[in-house]
A and B are shown apart, each in its own frame.
Chain A
């Protein structure tokens, strides 16, 4: 089980780093837990990348769990209707 902590501020300027980190998680081919509790600001580009990450793992039958997604995080997910692609089901 791999554990990944998301930064407090994640935006389009930081995506190369994020992509590389996610890439490593994919290569391990093991289930992943993403801790989104610290996220204060996140933009569409970052969520888009995370959605692709979740779908890519799903395609290989690897499970992604979300841990304590913060309010700002959930707000953005709802704004973009990305809960399905991110596989995140919270009220």
Chain B
């Protein structure tokens, strides 16, 4: 979305020159007082904000220069670069260069970049000289290397394979391909690089220099990180903050914790540079919108009378802010998204191996490998999905002879599909095998005391018994399903990441598992609802449908659990007011709403709420530890008006209601 920024350029330049003057003063102060970390931080911040605002206006000459300067300043503030004469000179020179750039740009001229390029080269040279404080870390037996070529890496005739080959001459290499997103075939430019690697290099006393030398020609064309993988060998000082000094016997012994300060493993993530630019654009726009809103607000405060065109302007700015922050949020979220390709890639092999073991023939159909999902979820999903596959192969599909006798093709079908729908990620794992024996499930569950003989279960509930702990209808422990990761754990794992798992099975025909997952674990898409003047949030992933109800008063007087015809089913609906013991005297809402939610083993169920308010993306805040564990609340959130609301775990609300009804009935001797 474009924006007419001309009116704001004047203030950008004004601020820019002021900032450069400030930077100059700070640098001079730094010369007199090199240890002053506050000055260093301040200089860094000035440079960083100049880079950001120049970026908003598209002044790439300034952003390029500021970026090079920022890189150097970052080393200074990390303590990896000494502050000496040469550095001070270059910093002062840099402020001059940027001032000249701004002056040209302000005058509407194309700035002359010869000077800035030359200084950039000098700054770059300084960054890379071995005149750093890390000299003691430069020899080790094990190195961890991140090698991430930029898109344009191949343009100068450099070939990653040759560099990796030379790296291999220094020691033993363990290479892992790192590809977060496989590009689309259409429109691919084969001259651009999209591969990356992490490398473990092991050998005797390998010098860091030897490694960096191999990449010396390409350091501006890639992101390279060379880290000592053997922290015990780096002579970093013992961190006394983490230990204690025992002076009891007059001698000081310092104990340190196991993690030394060097080489702490961080959770890192690679992000496409264009994505960062996009994020920067959005945040720049948000900043501007925010400033404009502030200005408008101050005006409005002074003028008691608000002309309609002012209100409209305000509204436009608000819309802009909405759009930009939504855009920013989406982009940030999408940074964490990865296609499931690498996970799906493993399935054919797993299926092939397993099918040989159980001597069954399988026709594997896979689709949706490019569906994206939060990268953390991919790791957590692997185990449950593999367990479902094992299950399908072991218990689901029959051996070829049996299939033949049942008139089925000898090859069993195993279908694994992933897709996105309604903002959620869906998985389906389907086999055309035995299907679940409802009789066996009921028998076993009854024997285990899991079932109340007076409460008949419908088909779905019976199928859901497969998820009950300790229940398995396998007559013997087979060789592949004996690992102990049962269906109950599959369900737990899925629910831990905020998902739902459903099962449909027909004896003799087959079984389908359907998993529904949120796109992200950190954001919850929720529906804010009103129940007797209290606000709650219901996760959208649990909601199947909402129905407006006629005849308000009647619905508030329904018993705790009553029946309702929804689509082709008769479902049970829960009167939440009664479930929550909220006073009837609060009166009825004129427009109660029936929400059809996923009641897990109870199937779709209805809950009546007084009103539907907005839908929100919420960052879930878990309840503090000092609250008793409430099973039907899964977290809390803060609304726009500052109110704190609870997030309902509908399935548990329903379970609770059924339990209390059961107790009530038992108590009443029903």
Chain A positions within 8 Å of B, measured between CB atoms, are 12, 15-16, 18-19, 23, 26, 43-45, 47-49, 52-53, 55-56, 58-59, 61, 76, 79-82, 84-85
Select one of A23, A61, A80 contacting B161, CB under 8 A: A80
Within 8 A of A (CB), among B323-368: 341-342, 345, 365-367
Shortest Cβ distance from B202 into chain A, in angstroms?
16
Chain A's closest residue to B164 (CB) is A79
The 4 closest A-B pairs by CB, nearest first: A15-B190, A56-B185, A81-B175, A81-B177
**Chain A min CB distance to B493 (Å):** 25
Q: Which B179-214 residues sit within 8 Å CB-CB of chain A?
A: 179, 182-183, 185, 188, 190-191, 193-195, 197
How far is it, in angstroms, between the C-alpha of A80 and the C-alpha of B197 when the chains are bound? 8
Q: How far is the CA of A80 from the CA of B183 in the complex (A)?
A: 18
A-B contact pairs, 6 of them (CB 8 A): A45-B193, A48-B194, A49-B188, A55-B341, A59-B370, A80-B161
Question: In B130-164, which residues have CB < 8 Å from any A CB?
Answer: 154, 159-161, 164
Contacting residue for B160 out of A58, A61, A80, A84, CB 8 A: A80
Q: In the complex, are the beta carbons of B161 and A79 less than 8 A apart?
A: yes
Task: Tell me the bound Cα distance from A38 to B654 in angstroms.
Answer: 67
Q: Is B128's beta carbon under 8 Å from chain A?
A: no
Complex: A49 Cα to B160 Cα, angstroms: 14
- Whole-angstrom CA separation of A32 from B459 in the bound complex: 46
Chain B 586-613, CB-CB to A under 8 Å as 1, else 0, gives: 0000000000000000000000000000
Across the interface, which residues of A come within 8 angstroms of B197, CB to CB?
80-81
Q: Does B9 contact A (CB under 8 A)?
A: no
Determine if B195 and A44 form an interchain contact, defined as CB atoms under 8 angstroms apart: yes
Asked if B188 and A52 sit within 8 Å, CB to CB, the answer is yes
In this complex, the member of A48, A52, A53 whose beta carbon has the largest number of chain B beta carbons within 10 angstroms is: A48
Q: CB < 8 Å: which of A48, A58, A79, A81 contacts B193?
A: A48
The residue that A61 contacts in the complex, of B154, B179, B365, with Cβ under 8 A, is B365
Q: Is B369 in contact with chain A by the CB < 8 A criterion?
A: yes
Write the nearest CB–CB distance from A31 to chain B, whole angstroms: 15
Identify which of A18, A49, A81 gathers the most chain B CB atoms within 10 Å of its CB.
A81
In the assembled complex, how far is the CB of residue B356 from the closest CB belonging to chain A, in whole angstroms? 16
B177 engages A76 (CB within 8 Å): no
Q: Determine whether the beta carbon of A26 is less than 8 Å from that of B190.
A: no
Residues of A within 8 A of B168 (CB): 79
The reply to whether B161 and A76 form a contact with Cβ atoms under 8 Å apart is yes
B183 x A44 contact (CB < 8 A): no
The docked-state distance in angstroms from the alpha carbon of A19 to that of B186 is 10
Contact pick for A26, options B176, B183, B185, B366, CB 8 Å? B185
CB atoms of A12 and B191 under 8 A apart: yes
Out of B159, B164, B182, which one reaches A52, CB within 8 Å? B182
B404 interfacial contact with A, CB 8 Å: no
CB distance from A71 to the nearest CB of B (A): 14
Complex alpha-carbon distance, A37 and B21, angstroms: 66
- Chain B residues within 8 Å of A81, by CB: 175-177, 197
| Chain A residue at smallest Cβ distance from B160 | A44
Min CB–CB distance A68 → chain B (angstroms): 21
- Give Cα distance in the complex from A79 to B166, angstroms: 10
Instruction: Tell me how far the C-beta of A33 lies from the nearest C-beta in chain B, rounded to whole angstroms.
Output: 18
Q: Does B165 contact A (CB under 8 A)?
A: yes
Q: By the criterion CB–CB under 8 Å, are A61 and B194 in contact? A: no
Partner of A19, one of B160, B188, B193, B341: B188
CB-CB < 8 A to A12: which residues of B? 154, 190-191
> Taking A43-B161, A59-B369 as contacts, is the C-beta distance between A80 and B195 under 8 angstroms?
yes
| A48 to B194 CA separation, bound complex (whole angstroms) | 8
Question: Quick check: A48 and B190 within 8 Å, CB to CB?
Answer: yes
Complex interface: chain A residues within 8 A of B194 (CB): 48
Check B182–A55 contact: CB distance below 8 A.
yes
